[in-house]
Every structure is written in structure tokens, then in C-alpha cells.
Structure 1
Amino acid sequence: MSTAPTVTPKTAGTPKPIAGRDLLVAVGVAVLVYAFTIQFVPLLKSEPVTGAGKQLVLIGYLAANLAAFGAAVSALLLRDPGYTWQDLGVRPASDIWKRRAVLFGLAATPLAFAAGLFLRRTFDLDPPAIDFFAPDDFSWVAAATIVLYGGLLVPMFEELFFRGAVYSWLRNRLAAASAIPLSALAFAVVHMRIEVMVVAFAMGCLLAWLYERSRSILPSILLHQTFNTAQLAFVYGAVALAPDRSGLG
């Protein structure tokens, strides 16, 4: 007679594995919230379209992303029985991994710009909509809001979702060599544009590797925030120093 498998109870300090159905619920919540909130973005457009108006539309898209991933993370935390922040990777990290995260983020910025430019020229892709980031007659207050959303808040919740939940779910079932590229692929798909997807896949691999090695989501969040903020700082720094923005695309 076979005996029923024993279930090892979770010990104190041990992260709770992400269940597949819970991850599926989180994904569904993210899709529904994004589909709902994105309907309001066109309402932000004004006639005639002004520089600040274009930035407001971009802020609307960033807010929709923030709402979607924030809702997905909340869905996991509020499950009954739910998960804790520790289960999503929010654990102490050593200073060396934090320093490495910042350095990796800064080093990746020029590489990402170069890769994006190479891919656009090689495959004759349309340039990014830089006019929404830095249009003529734009608002520095709106620019600061874009940095807050795109540079700090959205990366934080993307990491909690893609590394803290998606990668953790994959890692509990696969070796790191398989889980890292698969989670990076999921991360890349949501970025839509071809050249951005290529860069996002590479970044997703780096972010998952960093999470795997540091055993904390904090360095991944820091790297992602550094990378996004550095890119935005480059764009707005160029605007401040050179009013002609034709070379930013």
C-alpha cells in the first residue's frame, strides 16, 4: 500500500513557493486592470495637442502600467492564505550587491541606447516616440512626474511581479539556466516594440541573474530603477543642454 506524500511545513524565514493558480490570478488581474485603465488615457489628450499634453498622455500610460502591476502584486499579497513581501523576494541584501546593481544599471544604459539605435537602423524601424518624452514647449513638472513613474515606481512593481513572482514560480520548477531566459521572455513581451523587446530580454536575464545570486529582489529593483532613471536623465539632460532634439531618436 502506498502512503500519501508528506507535506513539509514552511519554516520561519523560508519563502513560500508561488502557486501556479495564484500566479495565473495575478496575471489575470494585471491584464484586466491595464485594459480598464488604458481606456481613460485618450481622455488626457487635448486639442490642440500641446507639449505638456503629450507628456500627460505618457504619464497616463505609465500610471496604467503602475496600476496593473500594483494590482497583480496586491492580488498575491491579499490571497487567503496569501503571500508576504518576503515571499516576493523583499529580503535584506548585502551592500556589495546594491553597489553592483547601481553599476550594472549605469553600464547598461549606453549599451541599451547603442543596441536600440543599431536595431532601428538595421531593420529600418520607426524611431521611438521621443516627442512624448520631450516635446517642444514641454513641462519640467511633467518631466519630473515621468521620472517618478517611469524611473522609480513602475520598475519597483515590475520587479516584484516579474522576478518576485514569475521568476520565482519558474525557478521552483526549473533550473536557473532555463528559468532566467523564460522569465526574461515574459518581461520582454510586454514592451511591445521590437528593439525595446530585445533590450528588455537582455535586461530581464541580468535582473533575474542578480535576483538568483543575491537572493533578494532589492538589488534587482535598484538596478532597474537606475537603468530607467539614467535613460530619462540622458533625454532630459540633452533637452536642457541642446534645444534641438532631432538626434534623440
Structure 2
Amino acid sequence: MKKVLAMIGNIALYLGVFYALLYLLRSTYNYEVTLSFAKFLDRNPAMFMVVLFTLITLVYMLIFRIKGWIWPHAEKNLFRASGFKRLSASRVLLMIGLGLAGSLFSIGLIVIDDIARQFPSIPGLVDDMIRGDSIWYVILGAGLIGPAFEEILFRGLIFRELRRVMPVYAALLLQAAAYAYFQPSAALSVISIGSGLIYGSLYLRTGSLWAPILVQNTAMGTIFLFKYIGFYEWFDKLGDVSLYIITALCLAALIGGSVYVWRTSGNGGIGARAGQALTADAPSAAQKGV
């Protein structure tokens, strides 16, 4: 029961910090001294993400430090606790490839007319984020900082907490559901259940948060960069039949690549360590009196 309460408390703390700083940043519109800064963020929503997520990450770092001072055995470093571990060069290239497949899959959903009409929130999100003073603001915020923060929060922290109190596969499903819940539209939530499972499984099997971060950074960065350079218009000229085929193939590559990682990562990932921890925590047969 103690572990469950600790898990609930920690997740509530992480989300509470998120909402508190979101409210604080939005309140800059209410004061004359910060109004010009607020207007800059309003013109550049990607930079709003940069400021917000950087502040939240700094507070998370402080929280881990404070926990380390109070409880000597607690992890003191946010990034070590989240699983920022080195990937091999071959894994890095594979994650970039998965990110490109995810990017083309998403662009297909945007440029195929029938899908775009049925789910306007998908192209709408790209159009909203890409507006601003510079494409580099968009790449920095929506392509790099935003996805990295999502992985820290949902995989590095929330998934970490869930794994402590439930079977790892139940935690994998629950973190994907939580990730989907926080998306801005129903269509994006449905897509995010699948992507949350992929990101979580990559993290689980490689043991490194860099794996899903690389996939997300590559996918999101190229989605906005390709929009800026006019790639969408060229892609759209291929026609709906070709677009459907390419989009389906990219989805298959994304899923297939994730399955390949799952099957070739051996026993050194987070799942194995979680299983070892559960085994270590479980009372032995002698302790049970069996």
C-alpha cells in the first residue's frame, strides 16, 4: 500500500508542477511588465513550449535533489532516474529511421484529402505550431524540446512510477493511455495510444530514454521542416493511391522496426531489470513457510 500511495503522490507532484507553471506562464498576460514577453510567446507557440518545458524540467531536477537530501537512498539525478543511457551507433541510426517513417506516416495523414477532412485537428496542429517569427523557433520547441520533455514526463517519470507497483506490461499500457489523454484532440489521442506503446516499448527494451527521444525528435523535427520547405505540396502531387500506399508502408516500417528492437535487445533493458527487482522484492519460499 505504501508503494501505491508513493506512486500516486509522485505522479500528482509531477503533474501539479506542470499545471502550476503552465498557469504561471499564462499569467504573464496579466502584467504590464511581462506583456511584451507574453505577446512574443503568443506569436510563437513553439517558444511557449521551450520556456514552459525548460522551467518544468528545472523544477523536476530540484525535486530530485531535495528528495536525495531527505532520503539518502533516493535517486538524486533526474536524468539518471529517467534512463538517459548511451545507445550504440546502430541503434541511433535505427531510431532515426523509425522517426523518418513516423514523419512520412504523419505527413500522409495530413495531405490525404479524405483523412484531413475527417480529422482536421492533425493538420491544424502543424499549422498552429509552424506560425511564428522563425522556423528555428518551431524546430527548437515543437521538434526538439517538446518531444524530449514528453519522454521525460511520460516514459522517464510516470512509466517509472507505474512499474514499481504493477506488472510492467500493465504499466506500459497505462502510460500510453495517460500520454493519449493529454493530447489536444480525440484523433491525436487515438494515434498517441499507438505511439505511446511504441515509445514505451523502445524505452523498455533498450533501457535508454534516448531511444524514444530520437524517434520523436526526428519525426517532429522533419514534420515541421518539410512543411516549411514545401515538401507537403510535392508529396501531395503523388496522388491519393500512392499516398495511401506510402503511408501504410511507413506505418508498417514503424511497427516492424519496433518489433525488431523488441526481439533483438536481449535481456538488458528496463523490463529485465524490473523483473529482477520484483523477484528480489518478493518473499522467498522459506520466508513464506512453504
Report the TM range for the smaller structure's normalisation.
0.7 to 0.9
- Name which of structure 1's ranges 105-114 and 57-66 shifts more when overlaid on structure 2: 57-66
What's the TM-score, normalizing by structure 1?
0.72
Q: Could you tell me which amino acid in structure 2 is paired with residue 37 of structure 1? A: L
Matched, 1:33 2:21: yes
Identity of aligned residues (%): 19
Q: Is the 8 A contact 2:119 2:187 kept in 1?
A: no
Question: CA–CA distance in 1 between the matches of 2:90 and 2:166?
Answer: 27
Question: CA–CA distance in 2 between the matches of 1:145 and 1:125?
Answer: 22
Q: How many residues align?
A: 215
Q: Could you tell me which amino acid in structure 1 is paired with residue 192 of structure 2? A: A
Partner of 2:198: 206
Deviation at 1:99, TM superposition (A): 2.0
Deviation at 1:121, TM superposition (A): 2.7
Question: CA–CA distance in 2 between the matches of 1:39 and 1:153?
Answer: 22
Matched, 1:185 2:181: no
Q: Could you tell me which amino acid in structure 1 is paired with residue 197 of structure 2? A: C
Partner of 1:107: 101
Deviations 1:126-148 (A, max 9, x none): 8505554455xx64xx2111111
Q: Is the 8 A contact 1:54 1:131 kept in 2?
A: no
Question: CA–CA distance in 1 between the matches of 2:29 and 2:227?
Answer: 23
Q: Is the 8 A contact 1:119 1:195 kept in 2?
A: no
Q: Could you tell me which amino acid in structure 1 is paired with residue 211 of structure 2? A: P
Deviation at 1:59, TM superposition (A): 3.2
Deviations 1:189-233 (A, max 9, x none): 222122222222222111100000001111111111111101111
Question: CA–CA distance in 1 between the matches of 2:43 and 2:124?
Answer: 17
Report 1:1-249 matches (<5 A): 19-40=7-28, 43=35, 56-63=43-50, 65-67=52-54, 69-71=56-58, 73-81=60-68, 83=75, 84=77, 85-115=79-109, 120-122=116-118, 128=124, 130-134=126-130, 139=133, 142-238=134-230
SS at match of 2:165: coil
Instruction: Compare the two structures and name the one with the higher helix fraction.
Output: 2
Question: CA–CA distance in 1 between the matches of 2:22 and 2:203?
Answer: 26
Q: Could you tell me which amino acid in structure 1 is paired with residue 57 of structure 2? A: G
Task: Assess, with a 3 A threshold, how the Cα gap between structure 1 residues 59 and 41 changes in structure 2: closer, same or farther.
Answer: farther
